[in-house]
Structure 1
Amino acid sequence: MDQPDTQFAPRGDDRVAYQLLGPPPGVTARDLVLTTGVWSHLDIFWEEPSSARWMRRVAGFSRLIRFDRRGCGLSDPRPLDGGTMVDHWIEDLLAVLDAAGSEQAVLLGTIDAGPLLLEFYARYPARVSGLLFVFTSACFAQRPDYPEGHPQAVGDALIEMVAQGWGRTEFAATFDPSQADNPAALKWYTKLHRAMASPRAVVENLQISAKLDARHLLPTIKVPLLSLGRRDLAIFPAVQSRYIAEHAPGGRYLEIPGRDADMIWEGTDEIVAA
């Protein structure tokens, strides 16, 4: 499968970039939306062989849908209409599904996408046939009834780490330790970060994401749900991934060894199989 062309879904006067890949000829498959949350860059994801290989494997059993929400990557800036970051993200995904002719899709979210998937399902349940949470959370910050979340001091330290390290090799190595001795991978990852957004924009959106709490939506889930946790991942702890599965009706949990925050290098066979 070659890299797909980038297309643009209309949302009012704005355009939302998206790509479609797969399934192979003769294969009947579900639509699967892959999102890394509020930051992405459709084209640069293809420049790393491991990333491209991962997407092609998933597109071997699905019609893979990916998009850059407004404000990052190849899409238009976020509109100044008073809507929240979550509102705009949901609008963008809905626009992409409509443009792609997808009546219903499985949603796979990783990194900061957990609360976004739950919010989209709550507003448009008929458009979702399944939910896949990979190394993400329904709520990142600790609450009185949620000791699994990050304490305030830890959350502040993580945001500061991103603020100081965004677009630098040292931060990339911290995010995906399995590639710490792979200069080519780290060079690509830092380029990806710089292309997605500026450090200030990333921090502003991280501060918003850190306050999101979509746990109350978990009991309302009526579609198959699988949550994957990374055993030794500190930024998005496995205990938060397990929480998602344990509080959704029929939710399933699977733990993957390793420390990487991404899916493309460590444990890829297990993740794709799941």
Structure 2
Amino acid sequence: MQPRQEAGPSTRYATSEGLNLAYQVLGEGPGDIAMVPGFISHIEFAWHEPLCARFLRSLSDFGRLIAFDKRGMGQSDRDPHDLAPTMQQRCNDVLAVLDAAASDKACLLAWSEGGPTAIRVATMAPERVSGLILIGTAARFASAVDYAHGLPPFVVTEFIATLQQLWGSGVALELYAPTLADSPATRKWWATYQRLAATPGAVAASLRMQLDVDVRDLLPEVTVPTLVIHETRDMVIPVEAGRYLAEQIPGARIAEIDGHDHMYWVNHQAAKLSAIRDLLDEATSPRNTRTRRRRPVHGWPSLTETELTVAELVATGMTNPEIAQRLVVSPRTVQSHVAHILQKLGKSRRTEIAAAVTERATEHR
């Protein structure tokens, strides 16, 4: 017997820069939850996947859920002049949907590609954002000399070429939802979802734009309660990227889920929803009306608790692999921490970190 397909709520339209954006509203509660979509979306056909529908229904039990198709995707207008909207346009669209849904303030739940957009909205319009829930996402998707958590650009380019060639066939389900990769029903849904959500060219253009996305400089400026959810063996975005977000956003917490699915709704729904409920309780609490203190950019106060620990271990003479074993993280994560420490303290060598730690300890005696 086929699982019952839900129709979902009715679709409405917001207007942003002359384009129509499809959105839906479901549920009610103490606060609004606005979903910032990943690389593709179709708000109506999403309800045809039973697990996805169940997750969305559960979210609507926590508050008023607002979901939308970003421009160029799903049931929203295509821009005849541009296949890949800018980050600023993406942010403007989020605010336009909030306006249309009569939402003065919402907790932004962003998955995958939607993460950087949500982070930027939270810093450019903090009065409209009550909290951030960042699932399987990153501040930067491509690797760089000073950022080891991203994917090599050539890998992304090859992935885009494969998607464009096989789009609409259910391509990449093994990466996005390996738990469901052997399900014929899910593969059929995913193939149709791809065709309804976007054209091959639009997907390729949107993903190419992600090679230039980088909001790392905005992370210390986030002043709202933030939750990072990341599966430890995510097949698309490494968990280290999620850990980086949690370390760099002041006061952020992280929920690491033992799994390898990238799609936010596929597995471990109970654990994810429990963490989300806790964050929403904090975001809607009257005590969350004060502005949170922003971490400085340079000097000892700019270091996170993890970075302070790594600096102290470096000062003892431990190597990156030894520190990784002590902290139960990967050596690459430690390497990234050391790079951040050097940059924030204005140093160029590990020995200078050790000297600075010794000097700081002497000053505090």
Query: Do both share a fold (TM > 0.5)?
Result: yes
Q: Deviations over 1:154-211 (max 9, x none)?
A: 3233323323332223422332111122110110011111111111210111010121
Q: Equivalent residue for 1:112?
A: 113
Q: Equivalent residue for 1:179?
A: 180
| Larger relative contact order (Cα-Cα within 8 Å, sequence gap ≥ 6) | 1
For 2:213, the aligned partner's letter is: L
Closer/same/farther in 2, CA of residues 205 and 95 from structure 1, 3 Å limit: same
| Structure 2 residue matching 1:60: 3-state secondary structure | helix
CA contact (8 A) 2:72 2:83 kept: no
Structure 2 unpaired stretches of 5+: 1-5, 276-365
- 2:261 paired with 1:260: yes
CA contact (8 A) 1:226 1:253 kept: yes
Q: CA RMSD in A?
A: 1.9
Moved more, 70-79 or 110-119: 70-79
| Structure 1 residue matching 2:15: 3-state secondary structure | strand
Structure 1 residue corresponding to 2:9, chosen from 4, 10, 21: 4
Closer/same/farther in 2, CA of residues 164 and 100 from structure 1, 3 Å limit: same
Closer/same/farther in 2, CA of residues 124 and 38 from structure 1, 3 Å limit: farther
Q: Equivalent residue for 2:25?
A: 20
Instruction: Show structure 1 runs of 4+ deviating over 6 A.
Output: none
- Quote how far apart the aligned CAs of 1:92 are: 1.4
Q: Distance in 2 between matches of 1:174 and 1:7?
A: 32
Output the TM-score relative to the length of structure 1: 0.92
Q: Distance in 1 between matches of 2:27 and 2:49?
A: 19
For 2:10, the aligned partner's letter is: D
Q: Distance in 2 between matches of 1:149 and 1:174?
A: 16
Q: Distance in 1 between matches of 2:176 and 2:165?
A: 14
CA contact (8 A) 1:38 1:69 kept: no
| Structure 1 residue matching 2:140: 3-state secondary structure | coil
CA contact (8 A) 1:173 1:186 kept: no
CA contact (8 A) 2:174 2:181 kept: yes
- 2:165 paired with 1:164: yes
Q: Equivalent residue for 1:138?
A: 139
Q: Distance in 2 between matches of 1:170 and 1:69?
A: 21
| Structure 1 residue matching 2:261: 3-state secondary structure | coil
| Structure 2 residue matching 1:59: 3-state secondary structure | helix
Q: Distance in 1 between matches of 2:185 and 2:250?
A: 43
| Structure 2 residue matching 1:64: 3-state secondary structure | strand
Output the TM-score relative to the length of structure 2: 0.70
Structure 1 unpaired stretches of 5+: none
| Structure 2 residue matching 1:70: 3-state secondary structure | coil
Q: Distance in 2 between matches of 1:36 and 1:10?
A: 17
- Quote how far apart the aligned CAs of 1:118 are: 1.5
Q: Equivalent residue for 1:209?
A: 210
| Structure 2 residue matching 1:169: 3-state secondary structure | coil
Q: Distance in 1 between matches of 2:164 and 2:238?
A: 20
- Quote how far apart the aligned CAs of 1:70 are: 1.6
What pairs with 1:1-274 in structure 2 (closer than 5 Å)? 3-23=8-28, 28-78=29-79, 80=81, 84-274=85-275
Q: Distance in 2 between matches of 1:101 and 1:142?
A: 39
Which structure shows the higher helix fraction? 2
- Quote how far apart the aligned CAs of 1:128 are: 0.6
Which structure shows the higher strand fraction? 1
Q: Deviations over 1:5-62 (max 9, x none)?
A: 1011123432211000002xxxx32100112235211110011111111100010011
Q: Distance in 1 between matches of 2:206 and 2:37?
A: 13
Closer/same/farther in 2, CA of residues 96 and 211 from structure 1, 3 Å limit: same
Which structure would you say has the larger Rg? 2
Q: Deviations over 1:84-131 (max 9, x none)?
A: 422221121111101111111100111211111112122211111101
For 1:242, the aligned partner's letter is: R
For 1:253, the aligned partner's letter is: I
